[in-house]
Amino acid sequence: MSDTVRDYQVIIVGAGFAGVAAAQRLAKERIRTLLIDRNNYQQFQPLLYQVATAQLAANDVAAPLRSLFRKHPSVRVLTAEVSSIDARDRSVTLPDGTVFRSDVLVISAGAEVNYFGTPGADEFSYPLYSVDDATALASSLVEQLDRADTAAATHGDCEPIDVVVVGGGPTGVETAGAIGETIERVLPHYFHDAVPRRCTVHLVDHGDTVLKPFSEKLQRYTRRSLERLGVVMLMGTGVSEVRADGVTLSDGSTLPAHVVVWAGGLKARSVVASAGLETGRGGRVDVDADLTAPGVPGVYVLGDAANIPDGSGGTLPQLGSVAMQSGKWAGRNIVADLTGGQRRPFGYVDKGFMAMIGRMSAVAEVGPKRIELTGPLAFASWLAVHAALLPQARARIGALASWPRDYLSRSRSQFVVGNRPR
């Protein structure tokens, strides 16, 4: 085991929305920064469900980090797993024992799936937090469809295919909607006509409604839109166990399932817990208003790894816009730290939130006044916002080429790709 120590002014753990935004701000001041991520690309989580349903290719949602920083030699991109963090020492350790130490440490390692201890969930369900998760889910869905298509071609019919999506938040709604729409609009053009007839999507949630943070009107719209796509809504019940052939619900009843998607909760990445910082809700670090870890000088925690105060006693939600803005803001505060300036409390600009349901169907609450949009207007806003957020022109072009083909012509060129299922 080597025990190398290399010194950087700033180390950033995690190159998602928050880490990349912070590094871009530091690059402007030529601050020597080490940006570490287990992947050599920045993944765009909001579009993972489109990779899972063959709307986009994996490449469309993954921006190579070295390309993002090719004009910024002060930012060194390192592809490595960080096995532990020592916040008080402002150092990180790699699996081979290499230690990197810095003047300022930024923890922006994001979130991972939370199964809440549900038996079998880890083994038999698909989370949706990474490009690998999305391609594994895509492969599993395509494998089920191929199997059914072969049976239908040889026997004229096939066994049912049941998909269960656990969790009625934005990820669950977007995934259930995209699978429902694929069954309704796309499969008839690619598979034997028995296949779409035998596919069912179930959306299961503990609560009595989908999309909790949205208004009742938008929740009703979402529910109606999903039902129109054939999604069976099972509200007010949880999944208590996942098995290879189905799920058990909290009332003891069972549902058959060939594919289970787990969109039932998230928590901070496990490496955050290793840092020796006090953690709060969801394993996230309760940061001060200036995004630093309380009582630990020179350590920032951002995005999904942090509970960021919202200024009125609560915390900001785990959103791409929060992560990106917190990254930019932390970058500015770090420049202040290193140049003798004053850190400032994070000022979040609330642009609202939105969720896609299907073609011409989405919901959005826009801006701090929460202007409500549904239908084609919300759909168009969703496409515009997500295209603009994509980190790279190449990814933007890929998405802008795929969306019209998908939404107008029902074509899915990605149907055959993906890794083999787990």
Which of 10, 27, 48, 131 is close enough to bind ligand FAD by CB under 6 A?
A: 48
What CA–CA distance (Å, rounded) separates 151 from 419? 23
Q: Which residues, listed in sequence order, are joined to residue 267 by a DSSP beta bridge? A: 112
Residue with tokens 């994001």: 110
From candidates 9, 45, 333, 361, binder to ligand FAD by CB under 6 A: 45
Considering only residues 201-260, where is the footprint of ligand FAD by CB under 6 A? none
Contact 59, 398 (CB under 8 A): yes
In the numeric block, which tokens belong to residue 409? 């012509």
Residue entry with tokens 């929305």? 17
Q: Which stretch binds ligand FAD (CB under 6 A): 41-49, 68-76, 253-261, 293-301?
A: 41-49
Based on the shown chain and the rule CB under 6 A, indicate whether residue 133 belongs to the binding site for ligand FAD: no
Question: Out of 50, 53, 118, 171, which residue is the one contacting ligand FAD (CB under 6 A)?
Answer: 171
Name the one residue in this structure whose structure tokens are 């943070």. 213
Kindly report the number of other CB atoms within 10 A of residue 197's CB atom: 15
Residues tagged active-site: 174
Q: Which residue is nearest to ligand FAD (CB)?
A: 16
In the complex, minimum distance from the CB of residue 193 to ligand FAD, in angstroms, rounded to a whole number: 31
Question: CB of 41: closest distance to ligand FAD in angstroms?
Answer: 8
Q: Which 267-296 residues touch ligand FAD, going by CB under 6 A?
A: 269, 271
- Torsion, Cα of 321, 180, 163, 59 (10° steps): -50
Q: Is 17 in the site for ligand FAD (CB under 6 A)?
A: yes
Over the window 295 to 334, marking each residue x when it contacts ligand FAD by CB under 6 A and - when it does not, the resulting string is --------xxx------------xxxx-x-----------
Q: Report the residue from 8, 9, 12, 14 that binds ligand FAD according to the rule CB under 6 A.
A: 14
79-98 footprint of ligand FAD as x/- string (CB under 6 A): --xx----------------
Closer to ligand FAD at the Cβ: 38 or 243? 38
DSSP three-state, residue 133:
helix
Rounded to the nearest 5 percent, the helix, strand and coil shares of the chain are: 35, 25, 35
**11 alpha-carbon distance from chain centroid:** 23
Helix (H) or strand (E) holding 92: strand 91-93
CA distances for 290 relative to 15, 25, 141, 335, angstroms: 20, 16, 44, 13
Stretch 111-130 residues interacting with ligand FAD (CB under 6 A): 111, 128-129
Please give the Cα distance from 137 to 140 (Å, whole number): 5
Eight-class DSSP state of 96: T
List residues binding ligand FAD (CB under 6 A).
14-19, 36-39, 43, 45-46, 48-49, 81-82, 108-111, 128-129, 170-171, 269, 271, 303-305, 318-321, 323
